[in-house]
């Protein structure tokens, strides 16, 4: 009897990678994809690694595949932008050992800066795109993707969305295939993409597209579920999580449930459309399927009724379908709504967070902050409100230099780039080279908490450990800065507010590039726990100066500050900001 386990989509993909016989796997962490590689790394026989960024991860996987091993890479949607360069040409070379790439998209931006639809990458790179609708499919499709990869000589994109990555359902557990490595033969015509060779490979890509199109008409990845009763005439063409919502709403309608989203098989679509009275294409985000289906001459509904922005849900779809005249029961108004106005609860920096001291100082000094991606993006929220820009991984460094060029020295004296350690290794280093090489004077702060915190504490080239927790060479940020020719490199303790301010004042005034490394381990990860601070009530005047730290352990009620002793980890920042020295470290001293 097959054994089943309740797994998340990410755990299921990892299981699929294991069962497929993958030998090499690489990723850069990013929600909602992170747990895939974390789980892959638990299988000892797979050589797993956190790469410094997605481009490197994909290049490692491409190399492993060309050398004959089955290979895997995972990233979030915006990570694929970073890896797009190797992707486009890896499509031309094709594979030797099978290669699958996960693109985990984040509609509704639960933990992202945009909600781009990466199914388009399949169309641009001419790579097959598979999309599972639950964990069971996530594992099955991963195995299928490796099959397609080797049969059609192509990398395969397995596209997921947050609701599939982060939902659990049943997964069949099977025996893993053996790891085999195919022969490697030098083959420049296939693997050296000089113009002359690439012309030939482009031809192969177009032939592959035709072969895959034919395959799309036969594969069980795409299935028709014939409807019955009154609604059998309504035909939904859908995929992924949207399929699940629709099945809750109209279980008896007809479905063309797509698992292979590109390329589409025209005959399959036309046949399905001919068998129903009305075709409705239901997909999250962009009309990727709909545009292609309309081009086949099928008249259908789609983005005229289905929202294009954010996630779909059972409720949104019920409303959309009812609005379009379908006999769908619309979710009634909720039975209960609180009569009170409820405050929001945004995420916050943890008690003892090593970023707090620096953001407090940046805010106090009223600096312009070119920001980046990570926990420290929370520095844009109250009470710090200190970040001016957040665009993408690494953008803080180049961005600050651009601001300096646009507005001159006077502006640069009040402007910093702020970037985390993992993000710096990901794509901050090249920006720093640019400032040095083009004689800029920007001040760059690396907030080094020695982990990739936001995604759940993954190791990186600066932590001294690899993905398995084994010791690894540690890349020294200060030495790296010095080797780029930066003369002003300094390290500060972000728990020392005076030192932070001094460092900033001096480096901003210096008419050359400076690198400040603010180093303290992430509070959550290091489990920092000193005895809680306490408030000397007699000395507290209720001025609320301490609240500017935005520490969740601090509050002021009835005119007196309070420290929540369960939450406080004794970082001591509040003892430094209280003008009355009313907050004391355990033991009684002022600091």
Write out the residues near another protein by the rule CB under 8 A.
6, 8, 31-32, 34-35, 110-111, 134, 163, 166-170, 243-245, 247-248, 313-315, 331-350, 375, 378, 381-383, 454-456, 544, 547, 550, 552, 554-555, 566
The answer to whether 466 and 459 have CB atoms below 8 angstroms apart is yes
Could you tell which of another protein, ligand SF4, none binds residue 35, using a CB distance below 5 to 8 A set by kind?
A: another protein
Q: Which phi and psi angles does 238 have, rounded to 5°?
A: -155, 175
Nearer to another protein, 376 or 401 (CB): 376
Please state the length of the chain.
591
- Bridge partners (DSSP) listed for residue 393: none
The answer to whether 243 and 226 are in contact (CB under 8 A) is no
CB-wise, 190 or 520, nearer to another protein?
A: 520
Q: Confirm or reject binding of residue 561 to ligand SF4 (CB under 6 A).
A: yes
Please tell me whether residue 171 binds ligand SF4 under the rule CB under 6 A: no
- Phi, psi of 27, deg, nearest 5: -160, 165
Tokens of 85: 């360069």
Query: Which residues fall within 8 angstroms of residue 334, CB to CB, at 6 or more apart?
Result: none
- Angle of helix 356-364 relative to helix 497-509, nearest 10 degrees, comes to 50
Q: Which residue has the tokens 């129903």?
A: 276
Residue 562 near residue 532, CB atoms below 8 Å: no
Distances in Å between the Cα of 582 and the Cα atoms of 293, 554, 557, 589 are 69, 13, 15, 11
- Say which entry of ligand SF4, another protein, none residue 27 contacts (CB below 5 to 8 A, set by partner kind): none
| Residue from 165, 46, 32, 190 nearest 109 by CA | 32
Site string for ligand SF4, 527-556 (x = CB under 6 A): ------x-x----xxxxxxx--x-x-xx-x
Q: In this complex, which beta carbon is closest to another protein, that of residue 406 or of residue 566?
A: 566
Nearer to another protein, 16 or 351 (CB): 351
Picked from ligand SF4, another protein, none, the partner binding residue 168 (CB below 5 to 8 A depending on kind) is another protein
Tell me which of ligand SF4, another protein, none is bound by residue 341, counting a contact when its beta carbon lies within the kind-specific cut-off of 5 to 8 angstroms: another protein
Q: Which does 330 bind (CB under 5 to 8 A by kind): ligand SF4, another protein, none?
A: none
Contact predicate 25/71, CB 8 Å: yes
Least spacing, CB of residue 103 vs ligand SF4, in Å: 39
* Cβ proximity to ligand SF4, 420 vs 572, nearer residue: 572
What's the rounded Cα separation, in Å, for the pair 58 and 282? 31
User: Could you give the residue ranges of the DSSP H alpha helices within 23-74?
Assistant: 34-40, 54-66
Distances (CA, A) of 471 to 246, 447, 459, 461, 591: 49, 22, 11, 11, 35
Nearest partner of 237 among 183, 274, 195, judged by Cα = 274
Residue closer to ligand SF4, measured from CB, 95 or 358 = 358
CB 98 within 8 A of CB 70: yes
| Contact between 501 and ligand SF4 per CB under 6 A | no
Binding partner of residue 45 among another protein, ligand SF4, none, CB under 5 to 8 Å per kind? none
Cα distance between residue 455 and residue 453, in whole Å: 6
The only residue of 245, 494, 563, 576 in contact with ligand SF4, by rule CB under 6 A: 563
* Residue number with CB closer to ligand SF4 (241 or 568): 568
CB 486 within 8 A of CB 474: no
Site for ligand SF4 contains 288 (CB under 6 A): no
- 571 is an interface residue for ligand SF4 by CB under 6 A: yes
34's contact among another protein, ligand SF4, none, with CB below 5 to 8 A by partner kind, is another protein
Judged by beta carbon, residue 3 or residue 439, the one nearer another protein is 3
If the CB atoms of residues 86 and 550 are measured against another protein, the closer one turns out to be: 550
24 vs 569 by CB, closer to ligand SF4: 569
Q: Per rule CB under 6 A, is residue 80 in the interface with ligand SF4?
A: no
Farthest-apart Cα atoms in the chain, separation: 82
Binds ligand SF4 by CB under 6 A, chosen from 351, 394, 399, 550: 351
Compute the least distance from the CB of residue 354 to ligand SF4, in Å. 11
Q: Which residues bind ligand SF4 (CB under 6 A)?
A: 351-352, 533, 535, 540-546, 549, 551, 553-554, 556, 561, 563, 568-574, 578, 580, 582-583
């Amino acid at each position: 009897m097959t054994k089943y386990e309740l797994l998340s989509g990410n755990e299921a993909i990892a299981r699929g990678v294991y069962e497929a016989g993958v030998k090499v796997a690489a990723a850069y962490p990013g929600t909602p994809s992170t747990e895939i590689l974390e789980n892959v790394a638990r299988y000892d026989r797979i050589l797993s690694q956190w790469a410094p960024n997605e481009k490197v991860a994909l290049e490692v996987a491409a190399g492993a595949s060309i050398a004959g091993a089955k290979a895997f890479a995972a990233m979030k949607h915006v990570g694929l932008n970073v890896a797009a360069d190797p992707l486009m040409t890896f499509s031309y070379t094709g594979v030797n050992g099978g290669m699958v790439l996960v693109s985990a998209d984040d509609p509704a931006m639960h933990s992202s800066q945009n909600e781009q639809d990466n199914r388009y990458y399949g169309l641009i790179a001419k790579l097959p795109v598979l999309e599972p609708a639950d964990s069971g499919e996530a594992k099955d499709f991963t195995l299928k993707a490796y099959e397609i990869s080797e049969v059609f000589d192509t990398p395969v994109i397995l596209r997921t969305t947050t609701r599939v990555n982060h939902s659990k359902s049943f997964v069949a557990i099977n025996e893993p295939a053996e790891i085999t490595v195919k022969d490697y033969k030098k083959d420049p015509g296939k693997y050296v993409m000089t113009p002359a060779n690439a012309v030939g490979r482009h031809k192969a890509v177009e032939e592959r597209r035709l072969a895959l199109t034919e395959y799309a008409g036969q594969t069980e990845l795409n299935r028709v579920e014939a409807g019955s009763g009154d609604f059998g005439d309504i035909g939904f063409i859908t995929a992924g999580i949207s399929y699940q919502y629709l099945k809750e709403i109209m279980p008896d309608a007809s479905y063309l449930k797509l698992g292979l989203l590109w390329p589409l098989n025209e005959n399959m679509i036309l046949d399905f459309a001919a068998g129903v009275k009305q075709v409705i294409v239901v997909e999250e985000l962009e009309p990727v399927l709909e545009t292609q289906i309309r081009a086949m001459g099928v008249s259908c509904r789609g983005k005229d009724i289905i929202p294009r922005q954010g996630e779909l849900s059972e409720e949104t779809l019920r409303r959309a379908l009812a609005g379009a005249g379908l006999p769908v029961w619309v979710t009634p108004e909720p039975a209960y709504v609180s009569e009170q106005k409820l405050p929001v609860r945004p995420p916050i920096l943890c008690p003892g967070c090593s970023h707090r001291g620096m953001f407090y100082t940046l805010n106090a000094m009223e600096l312009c902050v070119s920001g980046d991606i990570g926990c420290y993006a929370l520095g844009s929220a109250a009470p710090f409100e200190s970040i001016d820009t957040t665009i993408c991984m690494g953008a803080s460094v180049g961005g600050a230099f651009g601001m300096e060029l646009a507005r001159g020295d006077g502006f640069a004296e009040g402007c910093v780039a702020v970037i985390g350690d993992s993000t710096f290794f990901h794509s901050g280093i090249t920006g720093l080279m640019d400032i040095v090489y083009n004689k800029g004077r920007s001040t760059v702060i690396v907030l080094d908490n020695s982990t990739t915190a936001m995604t759940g504490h993954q190791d990186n080239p600066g932590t001294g450990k690899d993905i398995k927790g084994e010791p690894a060479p540690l890349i020294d940020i200060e030495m790296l800065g010095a080797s780029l020719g930066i003369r002003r490199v300094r390290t500060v303790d972000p728990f020392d507010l005076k030192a932070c301010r001094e460092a900033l004042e001096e480096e901003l005034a210096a008419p050359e590039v400076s690198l400040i490394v603010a180093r303290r381990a992430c509070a959550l990860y290091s489990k920092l726990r000193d005895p809680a601070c306490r408030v000397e009530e007699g000395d507290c005047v209720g001025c609320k100066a301490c609240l500017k730290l935005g520490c969740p352990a601090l509050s002021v009620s009835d005119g007196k500050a309070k420290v929540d002793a369960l939450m406080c980890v004794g970082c001591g920042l509040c003892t430094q900001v209280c003008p009355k020295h009313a907050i004391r470290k355990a033991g009684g001293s002022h600091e």
